[in-house]
Chains A and B, each alone.
Chain A
Amino acid sequence: MISALYAILFWVATVLLVVGLAMKIRKYARTPAPLKIPTTPAPTTRTGVVLRMFREVIFFESLFKSNKWIWLFGWAFHMGMWLVLIRHIRYFQWDVSWWVSLAQPFGTYASFAMLFGLLGLWARRFLVERIRYISNPSDHLMLALLVLIVGSGMMMRFVVHTDIIQVKAFMLGLMRLRIETLPTDPILLVHLGAVAALMIIFPISKLLHAPGVFFSPSRNQVDNPREVRHIAPWAKKLES
């Protein structure tokens, strides 16, 4: 019963995530940028832009220049998250790849980095007057949801273990459109329920910053307006 419920939940969540995100990305990709608006320091070549984007996504370069506290918490949270997610790939592969195994030991500590970062970011929303002013309930809820996911995950990892083999069997089953039995530990159910919620809200929330950053004209444009004429299709029509 619970297994079936969770199976349906995950299928629905996956479809919403994939379709929702694809639609958003398509919209971003199709909307033209009518003018050249890269912000200084703007690279003058494509390669330069790729490097700039790499530094933004991996190191949060602009954020580092901007605010060291937000950078520290935000970077710890995101990098921890990537390691944790790599670690999680083992639930979705029969034969775990060598690089996933490699990430296992780091992943354990990564969850602490994630929690530290999230709590730091959350604390700022209460303690810093300016950030308190700009926070909406949804900003708090997003952090609450992530703390719930991380907290429940760490409980399973460090306190009350669950049957990981069985979880893996369940996940692999879902990928083959079969419903296997899911362990019914409450903490696991909380973890998975929260994860499904995160997947569902992803394409309709501020989590769109993840695809959004790659489409930001002030970051992804090449600074060469004098050399190459840039023109949007709708603007071209004004010329005829």
Chain B
Amino acid sequence: MAADGDDLPKMAHPLEIPKLKCGAMEGLAPFIAAPEHQEPLGYPGELVENWKEVALAKMKELAEKNRAFQVYLDACVKCGACTDKCHYFLGTGDPKNMPVARQDLLRSVYRRYFTFAGKYFPSLVGARDLTEEVLDEWYSYYHQCSECRRCSVFCPYGIDTAEITMAAREIMDAVGKGQKYSNEIIGKVKVVGNNLGLNEKALGATLEDLEEEIEEDTGVSVRLPLDEKGADILLVTPSADFFAEPHIDGLIGYAKVFHEAGVSWTISSYASEAANFGLFIGSYENMREIALRIRKAAEDLGVKRIIFGECGHAWRVAYSFLNTLAGPFDFLDPKYPVPQHILEFTWNEIQKGTLKFDKSQNDHIRLTYHDSCNVARASRMGDEPGGQFEIPRNVIKAVCNHYFDMDRETTHESTLCCGGGGGLLTDDLMELRKKGASPRMTALQQVTEDHGVTHMAAICAICKTQFSKVMPAYGYEMDSIVSVHQLVSNAIILTGQDGAEEDETEAAEEA
């Protein structure tokens, strides 16, 4: 993108409201899916002849199948409470990035064709015909929403723009105008089993390399098993954990925790992906198909429990939807919730006292924590409401001496999206990603000024990739973003580890 990074907003405060800049992000659009990305998902390869009828029929179908879509289209009173809640609006000033305005792009068409007022008094209620320009506008602005749900928290009726965005994307897929990034990835999962298209052999080799690396560092042989029948735990983790930084250090952390806890576990090559981009495009059917791979892997391997690695939207699909999409899981051990989060497991082991830490191994880090949107606003951990906020912080504080929270208005349920969620983590949207990150980056800069914070931890593969890409634009090193289990990995003392503290420090610095 042309504006790549040189016109980032200077914000005095993370939630500073910009002046409206009409048309600021107009026309920005990610690459359109080619026929080979569309067809495996059950969508037409390119824009169909009668796209208008198809789109309206799809809209009607969605209103009948999804109460949220129906109620949210009707209920909005335009009170304006959401207008300053979207990070993309705060970062770009484009009024169509205000949640209500984004919804209205579709609501205006819904009103025109499906409501009395819109049919007979269109200009009174802001109803408009569905035209090719409208479709293009949808394509642009429904790919400027990361489905983070921050607006839904603040709406007096809980209207969730993510639901409208998902519906819009599903309508666009149905007429043959899908997004390349998400649809191509879903295709890969269906064929190979993960977003990267990493096959069984490559995956096995990667895991072996990691085993060697851990043994070199610690002198302890820690296993990362693949497709091991009869293991107790199936670990489902985002495939970024197999190759990207800092994700991979998190994976090493899970392995060390499992090792110390003395449980048997395995990764599956068939379900080697926690991410489920079916969510992003609002497709129940595609989301279900991907989720069923996890069920099948669990059955084939004969495991007793399923645990998910650090990934935000994956945890939403896992915690909130897995039972719906691929349940019931009555073949698993009923003593454990299905599924569990790796942090629930680790925190439980910490409370049991199974894990020993040398917190000083993280003393080179002054840390803050970024609540990932899907974990924060669309799921939970543990038995109590709010566990998704407490458990990660508890684990961090157990392994780290210097921890500081960011401004409360930008954490917990009010957390700000990293700017790359919801299927937007693609280079063709880099300008949007950088600007959308500015509210979070401003909150980070505040704690850097106030407390000398150097690093930020996250538990989402998308957040980690996004931040390592955009943080340099805001004056941070790209490795200032860390995995929570990377910190665990730094501090954990493995049984029988050769007391080589220097090695550990080295490993931490490399990380």
Q: Which residues of A contact B (CB under 8 A)?
A: 24, 27-28, 31-37, 39-44, 56, 60, 62-63, 65-67, 70, 74, 121, 124, 128-131, 133-139, 141, 201, 204-206, 208-209, 212-213, 215-219, 223, 225-227, 229-232, 234-235, 238
User: Which of B17, B80, B339 is A134 in contact with, Cβ under 8 Å?
Assistant: B80
Complex CA gap A31/B67 in Å reads 5
Is the Cβ of B153 less than 8 Å from the Cβ of A209?
no
Among residues 356 to 414 in chain B, which have CB atoms less than 8 Å away from a CB atom of chain A?
376-378, 380, 385-386, 388, 412-413
Is the Cβ of A133 less than 8 Å from the Cβ of B71?
no
User: Which of B79, B116, B285, B328 is A63 in contact with, Cβ under 8 Å?
Assistant: B79
Chain B residues near A129 (CB-CB < 8 A): 19-20
Which of B81-89, B179-187, B229-237, B434-442 lies at the interface with chain A?
B81-89
List 8 A–B pairs whose Cβ atoms lie within 8 Å, in order of A's numbering.
A40-B388, A66-B82, A130-B80, A217-B67, A219-B157, A223-B385, A229-B323, A229-B324
User: Which of B65, B84, B156, B160 is A31 in contact with, Cβ under 8 Å?
Assistant: B65
Determine the residue in chain A with the shortest Cβ distance to B155.
A62
User: Which of A28, A63, A66, A208 is B67 in contact with, Cβ under 8 Å?
Assistant: A28
Chain B residues near A238 (CB-CB < 8 A): 285, 288
Chain B residues near A34 (CB-CB < 8 A): 65-66, 284, 324
Among residues 27 to 73 in chain B, which have CB atoms less than 8 Å away from a CB atom of chain A?
63-68, 70-72
Determine the residue in chain B with the shortest Cβ distance to A73.
B79
A28-B125 in contact given A41-B413, A134-B101 (Cβ < 8 Å): no
Is the Cβ of A216 less than 8 Å from the Cβ of B288?
no
Excluding A204-B117, A219-B158, 12 further A-B contacts by CB distance (< 8 Å) are: A28-B71, A31-B70, A34-B324, A36-B324, A37-B160, A40-B376, A62-B158, A66-B81, A74-B79, A129-B20, A208-B74, A225-B320
Is the Cβ of A60 less than 8 Å from the Cβ of B377?
no
User: Which of B85, B153, B163, B412 is A37 in contact with, Cβ under 8 Å?
Assistant: B163
Q: Which residues of B contact A (CB under 8 A)?
A: 17, 19-20, 63-68, 70-72, 74-85, 95, 98, 100-101, 104, 115-117, 121, 123-126, 149, 152-160, 163, 284-285, 288, 319-321, 323-324, 327-328, 337-339, 376-378, 380, 385-386, 388, 412-413
Determine the residue in chain B with the shortest Cβ distance to A228.
B323
Complex CA gap A136/B388 in Å reads 40
Chain A residues near B159 (CB-CB < 8 A): 216, 218
Complex CA gap A105/B454 in Å reads 61
Is the Cβ of B377 less than 8 Å from the Cβ of A136?
no
Q: Which 10 A-B pairs have the closest CB atoms?
A: A212-B75, A218-B158, A66-B154, A136-B126, A131-B80, A219-B158, A66-B81, A130-B83, A63-B156, A31-B67
Is the Cβ of B81 less than 8 Å from the Cβ of A231?
no
Complex CA gap A56/B154 in Å reads 11
User: Smallest distance from the beta carbon of B222 to chain A beta carbons, Å?
Assistant: 29
Is the Cβ of A60 less than 8 Å from the Cβ of B95?
no
Complex CA gap A204/B121 in Å reads 12
Is the Cβ of A139 less than 8 Å from the Cβ of B78?
yes
User: Which of A134, A212, A231 is B157 in contact with, Cβ under 8 Å?
Assistant: A212
Is the Cβ of B98 less than 8 Å from the Cβ of A212?
no
Complex CA gap A74/B156 in Å reads 11
User: Which of B75, B115, B154, B319 is A204 in contact with, Cβ under 8 Å?
Assistant: B115
Chain B residues near A66 (CB-CB < 8 A): 81-82, 85, 154-156
